[in-house]
Homo-oligomer: A and B are copies of this chain.
Amino acid sequence: MHVAIVGIGLIGGSVALDLRRAGFATRLTGVGSSPARAEIALQLGLVDRVTTLETAVREADLVILAIPVDRIVAMLPQLLDWVDHQTVTDMGSTKQAIVDAIRHHPRRNRFVAAHPMAGTENSGPTAAQARLFEGKVAVLCDLADSAPDAVQTIEDLYTTLGMRLTRLDAATHDLQAAYVSHLPHVLSYALARTVLQQEQTDPAIFTLAGGGFASTARLAKSAPDMWTPIFRQNRTAVLAAIQAYQQQLQTLQDAIAAGDESRLRTLITEANDIRRVLA
């Protein structure tokens, strides 16, 4: 299959590596946002060639959008104009704004809205890695609006990447992603900013930073180009998640301020229930 990957960064590059290795892609065309990144992707052998968006879409069998969600929304209507038999999919962290952007497009059914729940805090083609998706969950959304053969192609794609498939409507995806993905990014950004601010009066503050800090602040390395539009597109759900989180934080703060050890012990013990979820 001839696969075109739009956005040859961490996600697009990692997909390319796995699809080539598995033989799923017999030809790989890349579309990059800058000549410099495209050149790196070529040198790394992630794709066979780099071309324009229109050429890539017209010649490919499968078009994968691995770009920030604002660019998906902006690009998708035009892109579907160039489509007849091709399957088009995206890998963005929001789904509602994306399906809304093409709700009445005559080629809507060639598009499959998807979100593979994988990534790292790094970006760009040099961050691409094999088996990034293996064992993780891919969400497919609003499949009733997609043609059965297009859905089959995308199911094959994610099966090839070693992912477990789950199906949700776009609104439910966005709400769930707000809690388990977007909120963790917000709180990690807030933590990084808090300690960086403290560093201004306490220059050695990071000397004691160990594994716990690294774990909770890791997501704060994530790029603004990717995350700014996610927070905008999923604003309502993200704000609801932040508000629920602020209440929990306040509850813990109150117990600490009151010196109420019994209460604090209960709150922590309840939080420990997360062991059910985290191996």
Query: Which residues of chain B come closer than 8 Å to A273, judged between CB atoms?
Result: 192, 196
Taking a contact as CB atoms under 8 Å apart, the answer to whether B268 and A227 are in contact is yes
Query: Which residues of chain B come closer than 8 Å to A197, judged between CB atoms?
Result: 244, 248
**Chain A residues touching B, majority SS:** helix
Taking a contact as CB atoms under 8 Å apart, the answer to whether B207 and A137 are in contact is yes
A206 to B, closest residue via Cβ:
B277
- Stretch of A46-54, A77-85, A230-238 contacting B (4+ beta carbons < 8 Å): A230-238
Complex Cα distance, B261 from A273, in Å, reads 36
With A220-B274, A272-B221 as known contacts, state yes or no: A183 contacts B191, CB within 8 Å: yes
Residues facing B in A161-197 (CB within 8 A) are 166, 173, 175-177, 179-181, 183-197
Q: Choose among B256, B272, B277 the residue that contacts A223 (Cβ–Cβ < 8 A).
A: B272
Q: Tell me, rounded to whole Å, the shortest Cβ–Cβ distance linking A12 to chain B.
A: 18
Query: Which residues of chain B come closer than 8 Å to A239, judged between CB atoms?
Result: 253, 256-257
Taking a contact as CB atoms under 8 Å apart, the answer to whether B194 and A274 are in contact is no
Taking a contact as CB atoms under 8 Å apart, the answer to whether B228 and A264 are in contact is yes
Tally of chain A residues near chain B (CB < 8 A): 89
- Stretch of A18-26, A33-41, A58-66, A211-219 contacting B (4+ beta carbons < 8 Å): A211-219
Complex Cα distance, B244 from A185, in Å, reads 18
Complex Cα distance, B211 from A137, in Å, reads 11
Taking a contact as CB atoms under 8 Å apart, the answer to whether A216 and B213 are in contact is no
Taking a contact as CB atoms under 8 Å apart, the answer to whether A217 and B272 are in contact is no
Residues facing B in A89-131 (CB within 8 A) are 117-120
Q: Choose among B218, B227, B247 the residue that contacts A215 (Cβ–Cβ < 8 A).
A: B218
Q: What are 30 contact pairs spanning A and B, CB under 8 A?
A: A118-B210, A118-B211, A119-B212, A120-B211, A137-B208, A176-B207, A180-B210, A183-B194, A187-B249, A189-B252, A189-B271, A190-B248, A192-B272, A197-B244, A198-B244, A215-B216, A217-B274, A217-B278, A221-B274, A221-B275, A221-B278, A222-B268, A222-B272, A228-B265, A229-B261, A231-B264, A232-B256, A242-B249, A246-B246, A249-B249
